[in-house]
Amino acid sequence: MLVKILGSAAGGGFPQWNCACQNCADVRRGIPGLTPRSQSSVAVSAEGDNWCLLNTSPDLRQQIALYPAFAPAPEKGARNTPIKSVVLTNADVDHIAGLLNLREGQPFSIYASARILAALKDNPVFNVLNPDVVRRIPIEHGEIFEPDGCPGLSVELFTVPGKVALYLENPDAGPNFGSDEGDVVGLKLVDKTAGRFACYVPGCAAVDDRFKDWMAGASLLLFDGTLYADQEMIEQGLSQKSGHRMGHISMSGDEGSIAQLADARVERRIFTHINNSNPVLREQSAERRAVEASDWEVAEDGMEIRF
């Protein structure tokens, strides 16, 4: 299986267009040890010719253009693509806006929970993806499916703790803002020939034993790396919201992902969906050293993982 990290940043990318935090200011200045990143998206293929996209960031057009394997083949006609399917893990803008880049009458299939597909249905702008051409297929928790056009690959959808997309929050619905099961999901990606699998979870609010059992034995875990510390955006004057309020578990602390997943049976673990405020973006930072000492890696755009 080949996993390609197209974009490794959280919403807004790195640097974020309107952000003057120290990380964003320094990466614009070209300070060594800081690398720009586009917004979160991944591509996966079991055989390297046909591809399934996992989320579609607003930067998707640029991400596709940078990767030669996604180019249409002239011998296959005027319009074609090796991108056959899309699977969505939530309805956040940074994961669905890129669908609009795929609007040229090209057949492909979109897989997601019913909650996520309902968000697309309720926004008429996504009607540019003609339902007669682009199928929308609801998938339930625990369901295993084979994405259209991607031989050798199967996917299992698994609901994880999280929060409904910001633009769908209902302030009158109590402390969870109307969030429900299916708003955030993780994916198990299985190479049917080799029998090995990866787990992709770019958004997650908490880790429990059920979650660790689901990922046990994975060759690769791509996991929510939005924040290093729960209060970091508040402390940097970037937001009034903690990581917990945004539906993201932090890397550090007793309740953070490094500690909670320390005993997880996973061969390789990589943080992705990294916010511009996160100090691990600095390659020489103490936080980056702490992450790497805990046997985690920090994703960069263009990373390829084969297993």
Percent of the chain residues past pLDDT 70, beyond the cut: 100
The residue range of the domain holding 29 is 2-306
167-192: average pLDDT: 90
Percent of the chain residues past pLDDT 90, beyond the cut: 96
Q: How confident is the model at residue 14 (pLDDT cuts 50, 70, 90)?
A: very high
CATH code (residue 34): 3.60.15.10
257-263: average pLDDT: 98
C-alpha 18/C-alpha 191 separation (Å) is 41
What pLDDT shows up at residue 173? 78
110-117: average pLDDT: 98
C-alpha 87/C-alpha 185 separation (Å) is 10
Q: How confident is the model at residue 178 (pLDDT cuts 50, 70, 90)?
A: confident
C-alpha 70/C-alpha 63 separation (Å) is 9
What pLDDT shows up at residue 296? 98
C-alpha 49/C-alpha 285 separation (Å) is 38
User: Kindly report the CA angle at 261 between 269 and 37, in degrees rounded to 5?
Assistant: 40
What pLDDT shows up at residue 174? 76
Q: Is the pLDDT at 277 greater than 90, yes or no?
A: yes
User: Each residue of 200-253: pLDDT tens digit?
Assistant: 999 999 999 999 999 999 999 999 999 999 999 999 999 999 999 999 999 999
148-164: average pLDDT: 97
Q: Is the peptide bond before 171 cis (omega within 30 degrees of 0)?
A: no
Q: Give SS3 for 73.
A: coil
170-179: average pLDDT: 83
Q: Give the global pTM.
A: 0.97
Instruction: State the residue for tokens 């917990």.
Output: 244
User: Each residue of 46-86: pLDDT tens digit?
Assistant: 999 999 999 999 999 999 999 999 999 999 999 999 999 99
What pLDDT shows up at residue 42? 98
What pLDDT shows up at residue 171? 85
The H-or-E segment that residue 24 falls in is helix 22-28
By DSSP bridging, strand 108-112 and strand 134-138 are parallel
Mean pLDDT of the residues in the chain: 96
CB contact burial 195-222 (16+ within 10 A = b; e otherwise): ebbbbbbbbbbebeeebeebbeebbbbb
> How many domains in the chain?
1
Whether the CB-CB separation of 299 and 4 falls below 8 Å is answered with no
What pLDDT shows up at residue 273? 98
The H-or-E segment that residue 52 falls in is strand 51-54
